[in-house]
């Protein structure tokens, strides 16, 4: 596939999914960065990353839903709704059942439509198979030694209470940062936590950036962030080094709760 960047992947996959969904008679369209919409309402969200020469990309298709229950579970931040001038996140979402009623396709038919869209748009032809014994063994080991451990699950903790906080909401997504300071003059970063609604690859980039900033002088935040991005070969779809530097600088200078 001639999709060298994550932005190219997002465009290709989203256009393929929209093409597949259109066979049900709905005007599905890709909305950059990574959504698929029907008449301005989201029906699919996507995301992915590169790990070496491997691409992992995933998406959801809303076939049916209960908006109230979904929003209660997601706890959508008020800032994210305000960014889109919405009082109710349900006004931003739709589903195949809401659009098609009794003609809603089966899950199997949805699968076939998506595969057809990928084949027509990107030339991807699926090859069905079953996991090999080697793959099953590797999956078990990864679960037992890494992703199934409590340490992995708790790797990203809640923001510390005694931390300055800042958030930036823009076309590239939302970036939030919490910074705890240390030092005799309170002029160094003790730790930083970065979260948000943005695309970055490889997956550990944010954790590595947080680690790189521990102990850094507050005055050198921008310099350190830009040097990290330049050296780490980071692939960013929605935000750049300057965006991260700005929100971390703001959090570092914010008042800390008493």
Query: How many Cβ atoms are within 10 Å of 23's Cβ, its own excluded?
Result: 16
Q: Cβ distance 172 to 238 under 8 Å?
A: yes
- Please indicate, yes or no, if residue 140 is contained in any of the structural domains: no
List CB contacts of 223: < 8 A, sequence separation 6 or more.
none
pLDDT, position 66:
83
Range of the domain at 18: 6-122
pLDDT digits (tens, 9 = 90+) for 142-171: 999 999 998 888 776 666 566 889 998 877
* pTM score of the predicted model: 0.68
Provide the 3-class DSSP secondary structure of residue 199: coil
Q: Is residue 153 part of a domain?
A: no
Report which of 159, 161, 157, 224 is spatially closest to residue 188, judged by C-alpha positions: 224
d(C-alpha 65, C-alpha 50), whole Å: 31
Write down the pLDDT at residue 38.
95
As given in the structure block, the two tokens for residue 87 are: 């009082």
Same domain, 91 and 190: no
How many domains does one find in the chain?
A: 2
Q: How far apart are CA 115 and CA 124, in angstroms?
A: 8
**Is the residue at 226 inside a domain?**
yes
Q: How far apart are CA 222 and CA 233, in angstroms?
A: 17
Is residue 213 very low, low, confident or very high in pLDDT (cuts 50, 70, 90)? Answer: very high
**Does residue 85 surpass a pLDDT of 50?**
no
For the chain, the average pLDDT equals: 86
Q: Which of 122, 144, 175 is the last residue of a domain?
A: 122
| Domain of residue 173, CATH code | 3.30.390.50
Tell me the mean pLDDT in the region 33-44.
91
Do 225 and 171 share a structural domain? yes
* 119, pLDDT greater than 90: yes
Tell me if 176 is assigned to some domain. Answer: yes
């Amino acid at each position: 596939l001639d999709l060298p960047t994550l932005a190219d992947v997002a465009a290709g996959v989203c256009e393929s999914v929209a093409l597949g969904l259109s066979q049900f008679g709905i005007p599905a369209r890709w909305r950059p960065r990574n959504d698929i919409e029907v008449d301005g309402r989201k029906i699919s969200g996507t995301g992915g990353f590169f790990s070496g020469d491997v691409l992992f990309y995933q998406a959801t298709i809303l076939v049916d839903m209960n908006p109230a229950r979904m929003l209660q579970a997601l706890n959508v931040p008020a800032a994210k709704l305000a960014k889109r001038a919405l009082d109710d996140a349900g006004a931003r979402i739709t589903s195949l059942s809401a659009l098609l009623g009794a003609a809603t396709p089966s899950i199997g038919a949805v699968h076939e439509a998506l595969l057809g869209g990928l084949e027509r748009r990107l030339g991807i032809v699926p090859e069905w198979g079953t996991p090999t014994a080697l793959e099953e063994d590797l999956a078990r080991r990864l679960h037992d030694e890494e992703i199934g451990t409590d340490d992995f699950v708790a790797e990203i903790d809640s923001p510390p209470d005694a931390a300055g906080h800042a958030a930036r909401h823009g076309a590239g997504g939302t970036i939030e940062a919490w910074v705890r300071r240390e030092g005799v003059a309170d002029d160094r970063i003790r730790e930083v936590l970065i979260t948000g609604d943005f695309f970055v690859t490889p997956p550990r980039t944010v954790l590595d950036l947080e680690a790189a900033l521990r102990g850094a002088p507050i005055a050198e935040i921008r310099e350190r962030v830009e040097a990290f991005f330049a050296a780490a070969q980071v692939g960013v779809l929605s935000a750049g080094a300057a965006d991260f530097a700005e929100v971390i600088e703001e959090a570092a200078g914010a008042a800390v709760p008493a």
